[in-house]
Amino acid sequence: MDSHRSLVVRVLELGTDSQPESNPAVRLHTLGTILLLHSSVETWFWVFELEAVVVGIVLLAAAYTVLLAVGLVSRFRRIALVLTVGIIVLQLIWTFPYIANHTFLRLFALVLLALADPGSLRERRLVHAALGWMTAIVLFYTGFQKVAYGTYFQGQYLAYMVSLTDRFAQAFEWLVPSGELSRLKAIGSPVPGAGPYTVDGTAFLVLANLVYVVEMGLAAGLLWWRTRGPAIWMTLALIVLVQLAARELFFGLLFCNLVLVLHPRDVGRRLLPIMAGIYVLALLLKVLGWGGLVT
C-alpha cells in the first residue's frame, strides 16, 4: 500500500519543483496579475471589434478592469480572483457556445489560484503542480488531436489554411513551391469539390509532421524537472513560431505565461512589464483600427 501511495505522490509531484521547500508564491502571484490583465484587455478588444456598442459587453470589460485594479492590492487580491471567476462563468453562460476555447483554460487557472490559501505553502505547491499538469496536458492534446484527426500527415490542414488566409500563406510561402502556393490561394473559400489540399513539397510535409511530434514531446519534457528548463524555452519558441501564422495573440500570451510559471526562477515577474506592454499595445492597435493583425 505504501509503495502505491509513494508512486501516486511521485506522479502528482511531476509538474512542480524538485525541491520540497521551494515556494512558488511569486510565480503564482505574477500569473494571477497576468490573468486579471488578460481578462480585461481581451474583453475590451471584443468591445472594439463590434460594429455597434453592446452595453453588456462594455459592462463586462469595465468589471474586469475594476477587478484588475482591486487585484493589485494584496489584501483584496483573492477576492478579485474569486469575483473574476464568477464573472467568467456568467460570461460563458451568456455567450456559449460562441466562446474561445482558451477562455476555459483561463477559467481553470483562475479557479486554482482563487482556491489556494495564500498562507499555505502546501496549497501553493499543489496549485503549482496542478498548473504544470494542466499546461502539459493541453500541449500534449494539441499534438494528439492532430494525430487522431490525421489532417497533418499529408499537410492537409495547413494547406487548407494557406488557401483560406493570407497570414498562413505568408508564413509558409518559403516552404511551399510557388506553383502550389498559387494553386492553393486560387481555391479561396471552400466549396464542394474544392482542392486537393495537398502540397508537393518535402520540407512542408516534414514541418507539418514535426508539429505534433514536438508538441507531445515537449509536454513530457515540461513534467520532468530535469528536462523542464530546456522544454520551457523550446515550448515558448514553438508558440512564437506558431503565432507567426495563427496570430492568436490572446491564446499565445496566455499559454506563454502558463509555461513561464513552471520555471524554477521568477522569470515571469521579470518579464511582467514586457507582457503588460504587449497587452496594452495590442489594445491600442485595436482602438486605432489596426487590431486585425491579431485575433
The pLDDT of residue 140 is: 96
Q: What end-to-end distance do the CA atoms of the chain give, in Å?
A: 51
Q: Do 169 and 258 share a domain, yes or no?
A: no
Q: Which domain holds residue 241?
A: 2-149+199-293
Q: Do 167 and 206 share a domain, yes or no?
A: no
In the chain, the number of structural domains is 2
Q: Do 98 and 178 share a domain, yes or no?
A: no
The pLDDT of residue 122 is: 84
Torsion of CA 77, 82, 84, 90, to 10 degrees: -170
Q: Do 102 and 134 share a domain, yes or no?
A: yes
Q: Do 70 and 190 share a domain, yes or no?
A: no
Place of cell 494547406: 159
Q: Do 143 and 182 share a domain, yes or no?
A: no
Q: Do 79 and 179 share a domain, yes or no?
A: no
Q: Do 16 and 133 share a domain, yes or no?
A: yes
The pLDDT of residue 13 is: 63
Q: Do 43 and 163 share a domain, yes or no?
A: no
pLDDT in tens, 95-139: 888 888 899 999 999 999 998 887 888 888 889 889 999 999 999
For the chain, 295 residues long, give each residue's pLDDT as a single digit of tens: 545 555 666 666 666 666 655 678 889 999 999 999 999 999 999 988 888 888 999 999 999 999 999 999 988 999 999 999 999 999 999 888 888 889 999 999 999 999 888 788 888 888 988 999 999 999 999 999 999 999 999 888 988 888 888 888 888 888 888 888 888 888 877 777 777 788 877 888 999 999 999 999 999 999 888 889 899 999 999 999 888 888 888 999 999 999 999 988 888 889 999 999 999 998 988 888 765 555 5
The pLDDT of residue 191 is: 72
> Quick one: how far is CA 127 from the chain centroid?
18
Residue among 143, 164, 295 at smallest CA distance from 208:
143
Q: Do 123 and 208 share a domain, yes or no?
A: yes
For residue 67 the three cell numbers come to 477587478
Q: Do 62 and 143 share a domain, yes or no?
A: yes
Q: Do 111 and 243 share a domain, yes or no?
A: yes
What pTM was estimated for this model as a whole?
0.87
